[in-house]
Amino acid sequence: MKLAIDETRCKGCNLCTKVCPYRIFKEGKHPNLRGIVVPELDRPERCTNCRLRHLYGRQLCGVCQLTCPDQAIHWVEEEPYEPHKVAIEY
Amino acid sequence: MSFEDWFRQDRLPHIYCAGCGNGTIINCTLAAVDSMGWKKEDTVFVSGIGCSSRAPGYIVTDSLHTTHGRALAFATGVKMANPKLHVVVFTGDGDLAAIGGNHFIHACRRNIDLTVVCMNNQIYGMTGGQGSPTTPRGCISTTTPYGSTEPAFDLSELAIAAGANYVARWTSYHVKELERAVKTGLETPGFSFIEVLVQCPTNFGRRNKFRQVADQIEYIKAHSLLKAKRDRLLEQGERIPEDMYVVGELMRRSRPAMGLAPTEVKP
Ligand SMILES: Cc1ncc(C[n+]2csc(CCOP(=O)(O)OP(=O)(O)O)c2C)c(N)n1
Ligand code: SF4
Ligand code: SF4
Ligand code: SF4
Ligand SMILES: [Mg+2]
């Protein structure tokens, strides 16, 4: 699973940067198209829910998602890794 | 299923200001409702008027956005007409304790089977920041420009004195505890009251020296006193600082209740 911030919803309040035990959310630096400075994710693969959700079969931690007042934080399924065939031209 | 499924996705993002804690409380309440396994058709959300009271408009179930202060009066009607419905009320401090004060104490007295979540931002947020009955002494609002001189209402104590079966207080910082408290409230027959201290950066924080939303959250966190700790301090005969908010489960009892669904009525 992959952590993601929905840029169409986030209002840049930075509350998420205060609650994550791993400090995955960092204050952003650049405004997006809507003029909102969306937080950046620092190595999001450390998130408990990303790592263990499928193993335990239930939501884990999720404090950032409950705290985000704008329902902008969610998890997306990752595409399974696909080995690519590399065509080498001689 | 998760609490996200209870939102009307077409209505989001909501109109709350950046950093307004009302959204957090809706998340926690919906997470608790979701964990009850209730059907959406059997669940009704009711509210009055105010920023807090806009909450039901973002939820997929049937809802009532009523007149200022009358959320509990309408909710009483819904519950008494059809006790099988699960009725959850969202309200604000002004809505519940100022204009709706009488409905509040009588709903507690009757102990009607409702769950009430009060977003207490200690201000009239929607109308531009007038002082409310819960504005703490010394705080600035547009109607108390030199600081409020009145003592503030303790809504949870009021609910306990008036007879509510379940009373808890948490804050918008304590999301997991809040979710659990709302769940207990939903499970408890009779009137359940969950008071949530919440930040209103636009109309409270801005005037009261909280420059960033996070500053107010830090303040709320630092001024929350767990009930267990409060009791311990009292036992040791120590004074409780006046600016602390006691958080935790404050009351759980089983007074006779009204509006219970037929299966819940004990013989
Ligand atoms: C009968 C009536 N009186 C006054 C108002 C104006 N009014 C609208 S919202 C509000 C205060 C809301 O405060 P609160 O319940 O604390 O909600 P908040 O916006 O702080 O969440 C007032 C006085 C009204 N709409 N109807
Ligand atoms: S779920 Fe918990 S660990 Fe994962 S990003 Fe959110 S707060 Fe951090
Ligand atoms: S808490 Fe939500 S709205 Fe606020 S900055 Fe983080 S993602 Fe954005
Ligand atoms: S005025 Fe206050 S309570 Fe209303 S939406 Fe803005 S921050 Fe929230
Ligand atoms: Mg208010």
Which CATH number do you get for residue A64?
3.30.70.20
Q: Which domain holds residue A44?
A: 2-76
| Closest chain A C-alpha to B167 CA, distance in angstroms | 22
Ramachandran class of A32: left when φ > 0, alpha when ψ lies in -120 to 50, beta otherwise: beta
The confidence band for A87, taking pLDDT boundaries of 50, 70 and 90, is: confident
B144 is a domain residue: yes
Q: Per-residue pLDDT tens for B194-204?
A: 999 999 999 99
Interface contacts (A, B; CB < 8 Å): 64
CATH at B240 = 3.40.50.970
Q: Give the pLDDT score at B5.
A: 95
A85 is a domain residue: no
B76 is a domain residue: yes
The larger pLDDT score, comparing residue A89 to residue B57, is at B57
Weakly modelled stretches of chain B, pLDDT under 70: 264-267
Check CB contact of A48 with chain B, cutoff 8 Å.
no
d(CA B166, CA A69): 26
Structure tokens at B70: 């009358």
Q: Average pLDDT for residues A37-55, to the nearest whole number?
A: 92
Q: Per-residue pLDDT tens for B85-119?
A: 999 999 999 999 999 999 999 999 999 999 999 99
Residue to substitute in B53, B54, B68 for testing ligand 1 pocket (most ligand atoms within 8 angstroms of CB): B68
The letter for the amino acid at B163 is G
B262 is a domain residue: no
Q: Give the pLDDT score at A3.
A: 93
B266 is a domain residue: no
Residue B94 CA to ligand 1 centre (angstroms): 6
CA-based diameter of chain B, in Å? Answer: 57
Q: Give the pLDDT score at B264.
A: 56
B264 is a domain residue: no
Output the pTM of the full model.
0.94
Check CB contact of A63 with chain B, cutoff 8 Å.
yes
Q: Average pLDDT for residues A70-87, to the nearest whole number?
A: 82
Q: Give the pLDDT score at B79.
A: 96
The ipTM (two decimal places) reads: 0.91
Q: Give the pLDDT score at B266.
A: 53
Q: Which domain holds residue B35?
A: 3-254
The larger pLDDT score, comparing residue B90 to residue A84, is at B90
Question: A59 and B2 in contact by Cβ < 8 A?
Answer: yes
pLDDT at A81 over 80: no
A88 is a domain residue: no
Q: Give the pLDDT score at A86.
A: 74
Count of the separate structural domains present in chain B: 1
Q: Give the pLDDT score at A79.
A: 76
Contact list in B for residue A69 (CB cut-off 8 A) is 16, 19-24, 27
B142 is a domain residue: yes
Q: Give the pLDDT score at B267.
A: 52
